[in-house]
Amino acid sequence: MSGGFVADAPEAALSTLFVPFDSGVLKLPADARVLFLRARAGVRLREIAQSGWLCEQGFLPFAGELARCGLRVGEPSPGETYPLVLLLPPRQRDEARALFARALDRLAPGGTLVASMAKAEGAKSGEADLRQLAGVAGSLSKHHCRVFWATPEAEAIDRALQDAWRALDAPRETPEGWWSRPGLFAWDRVDRASALLAAHFPADLGGRVADLGAGYGYLAAQLIARCPGIAALDLYEAEARALEPARRNTANALRAAGRDLPVGVHWHDVTRGLPQRYDAIVSNPPFHLGRADLPELGRAFIASAADALAAAGRLLIVANRHLPYEALLGARFAKVRQLALQDGFKVIEARGVRA
């Protein structure tokens, strides 16, 4: 198993989130019950969190990092509310609006919702959205971030708008007919790199196959449509919100192909290894988190794939042409060849895992 990959926490946004408490403008609840949505591990969180805090995080590497820091990770029980709800809204606006709506569902009467965003990641829009939905009681700026909060009376919440925004997170069909949801990678289109990789799937690809970093299931659906020799297919994806769209898209692909094929959709951190052996693996591996290029993330995917492939297995990946994967591929596989170089992307096939 690989050692895993841990990205730096957004310390600026995390520190700014707690500024109103550090300055005495807001107080932590007496019963120490706090819900933190899209929580991230960080120094300030470890300092302030108590046993009554619940951290919710749908991206498995980040959830694992929270747990390793000794924080309680999970989802609130149905109907459970909290006197304080913290959140780090995402940049994607529909996803953020749905999160604001859901945060209000979890807010106890008289409770306070507190959000922090980097100014470069949409803080102005986020604050405006919360004001429109429930009013804003205050805001502060620090560390190039903005923290804003609301303690809304029930009648101050725009319930019709809340219902509309909550629905923004539901899986929806894109214009091209794929099930997806806002905030997923290339959520409203077919990614050009993935399309290029799918166009180079060999017709003789067969046996037990895995798709690493499957997203909403585009590559897996293409495997079902193009490769009749596949006997079983597993999708591995770290973002929990992608799993339901992936299940729908693979089910649609099976119906369209008239096939009865075992398909597993797994919430899994690929960088920590795979639980089974495979005859072939495909991937459009991630190489960034946020706006930062992190080629070591893609290299971790390649290492996990090599560890999980049968001796004669093969790996098919697509990547931006500048990413330095060839040295690792050459070290882990006997044969490495470039199948395509187009529109700034390269498709690479690697075969024969080195012992």
Q: Where are the domains of the chain?
A: 11-169, 172-353
For the record, the structure tokens of 258 come out as 């008239």
Q: Is the pTM for the entire model greater than 0.85?
A: yes
Topology, domain 172-353: Rossmann fold (3.40.50)
At residue 295, does pLDDT exceed 90? Answer: no
Q: How far is CA 171 from the centre of its chain?
A: 15
Instruction: Give CA torsion, residues 246, 189, 256, 235, to 10 deg.
Output: -30
Q: How much is the average pLDDT of 121-140? A: 96
The CATH H-level (homologous superfamily) assignment of domain 11-169 is Vaccinia Virus protein VP39 (3.40.50.150)
For the record, the structure tokens of 6 come out as 């841990």
| Residue 2 pLDDT level (bands cut at 50, 70, 90) | very low
Domains 11-169 and 172-353 share a fold: yes
Radius of gyration of the chain (CA): 22
| Residue 3 pLDDT level (bands cut at 50, 70, 90) | low
| Residue 13 pLDDT level (bands cut at 50, 70, 90) | very high
Q: Are 338 and 348 in contact (CB under 8 A)?
A: yes
pLDDT recorded at residue 87: 97
Q: Return d(Cα 245, Cα 199) in angstroms, integer.
A: 22
